[in-house]
Amino acid sequence: MPDVHNWQLGRTMAYPYAEHHPNRQFAFVFNINRCLACQTCSMACKSTWTFSEGQEAMWWNNVETKPYGGYPAHWDVRILDLLDQAHQAAGVQPAWTPTPGDPEAPYGSYQGMTVFEAAAHAKPQAEQVLGWMPGEDDWRTPNVFEDAAPDGRRSPGSLGLASEGVRLPEHVAWFFYLQRLCNHCTYPACLAACPRKAIYKRAEDGVVLIDQSRCRGYRKCVEGCPYKKSLYRPTTRVSEKCVACFPRLEGKDPASDGVPMETRCMASCPGRIRLQGLVPVDPDGTWADDPENPVTYLVRHEQVALPLYPQFGTEPNGYYIPPRWAPRPYLRQMFGPGVDAAIAKYRAPSRQLLAVLQLFRASERVIFKYAIEEGPKVFETEIDGQPWEMYDDTVIGFDAAGKEVVRVRVEEPVHTRPAPRPNSI
Ligand code: SF4
Ligand code: SF4
Ligand code: SF4
């Protein structure tokens, strides 16, 4: 297999195809701390793309409750277990080596095997990608274990309620919502696994698509995607997946004025947890140094948003601000060794970060640049024993044409309703 560079792992890795990168990459940041689990995103996608016969159990976007929930059931535990078996068979320790201050290895260097490298150690036979095939039952209950918390310390007869109060940094009883769609990976495992070469990555935006006319329904992509975001449709006998709402990305939606627009699941989020971008990519695959792009700023500069299971090796382009209250070992397994620094930055955000966080779900247009107008200091306190100040800055977002599309203040404006109708909207 050729060697390719994976910046999330801080090293080169084996991949079945040589490096070839798009000019811009579809990417997104989700702030787990704010999700309501309302499933508006899931329904927005379903009502747009997967409402037809044969797609009944198909959710390109889903929101599951961790640690028990998963769609398909236990998707991450299954692949983590397979990876563990492969590491044990090869006698390899899947550890991260710290690389402080190295911008090309922001989370350290991963010394374990990816799903591509571990495939050679899989039993009973070697494949391009280490994977597994879900059964039909695994897709049937996308939201089972909703709001279920693991808590070994609940007392019998307490109706399942924790008797102690909860305090940061970790709650005794905890769960969190994980919002998932295809990560439009830089090194897609679905693409690597497909024997028909029916899956391709677009040069203009890095979106990963399945050519429905080439697909023969072998389901190797379903088996190979570690995130289980390629799905089989029995009525057409071909596989399907998230298409990143590409007509909206291309500016072909009537409401878009010809510039890229956020996808349906991003634009519908009432929790304002989602920020979608098209980040500029250098020819060698690294993200261009563009700190005025909000997604690039959050991921590469502030490093407050982290990839989901980077150790799988697909270089996923979905990034998450981790939840503050969940056990750190669990979060480090899920988001890598950058978790502690990311949570510390989110707990006491810099002036710039606090302003950029206001851009989440603020416009239906994809924001390519932002600027900050400084405002007065409105609050000060101590966080973790350190002084912290809040400023009522204004963040301005610009679309692909450089047009201002949103202007938000850090401090939310307060509206007082007129006295005759205090409860009316
Ligand atoms: S719409 Fe937003 S808040 Fe609601 S479940 Fe989806 S990501 Fe969470
Ligand atoms: S998340 Fe899965 S389906 Fe999507 S690009 Fe990556 S490997 Fe392919
Ligand atoms: S980007 Fe579009 S196709 Fe993909 S999950 Fe979201 S709504 Fe569905």
Which atom of ligand 1 lies at the shortest distance from residue 179's CA?
Answer: 7
Distance 415 CA to ligand 2 centre (A): 44
Residues enclosing ligand 3, CB less than 6 A? 44-45, 48-49, 60-61, 181, 242-245, 263-265
DSSP assignment letter at 187 = S
Distance 38 CA to ligand 1 centre (A): 5
Ligand nearest to the CA of 45: 3
Which atom of ligand 1 lies at the shortest distance from residue 40's CA?
Answer: 1
Q: Per-residue confidence of the chain (425 residues) as pLDDT tens digits?
A: 899 999 999 999 999 999 999 999 999 999 999 999 999 999 999 999 999 999 999 999 999 999 999 999 999 999 999 999 999 999 999 999 999 989 889 999 999 999 999 998 766 566 899 999 999 999 999 999 999 888 655 555 555 566 666 777 777 788 999 999 999 999 999 999 999 999 999 999 999 999 999 999 999 999 999 999 999 999 999 999 999 999 999 999 888 889 999 999 999 999 999 999 999 999 989 899 999 999 999 999 999 999 999 999 999 999 999 999 999 999 999 999 999 999 999 999 999 999 999 999 999 999 999 999 999 999 999 998 999 999 999 999 999 999 999 999 999 888 887 777 767 65
Distance 366 CA to ligand 1 centre (A): 18
**Cα(413)–Cα(420) distance, integer angstroms:** 21
Mutate to test the pocket of ligand 3, among 42, 242, 243 (most ligand atoms within 8 A of CB): 242
Write out the E strands in 220-296.
Answer: 230-233, 238-241, 274-280
Q: Which are the contacts of 228, defined by CB distance < 8 A and separation ≥ 6?
A: 71, 72, 75, 134, 222
Closest residue by CA, ligand 1 atom 4 = 38
Closest residue by CA, ligand 1 atom 6 = 41
| Helices and strands (DSSP H and E) totals, the chain | 10, 19
Q: pTM here?
A: 0.95
**Cα(176)–Cα(404) distance, integer angstroms:** 35
- What residue ranges define each of the domains in the chain, with the CATH number in brackets? 3-149+175-347 (3.30.70.20)
Distance 312 CA to ligand 2 centre (A): 11
Distance 41 CA to ligand 1 centre (A): 6
Distance 54 CA to ligand 3 centre (A): 18
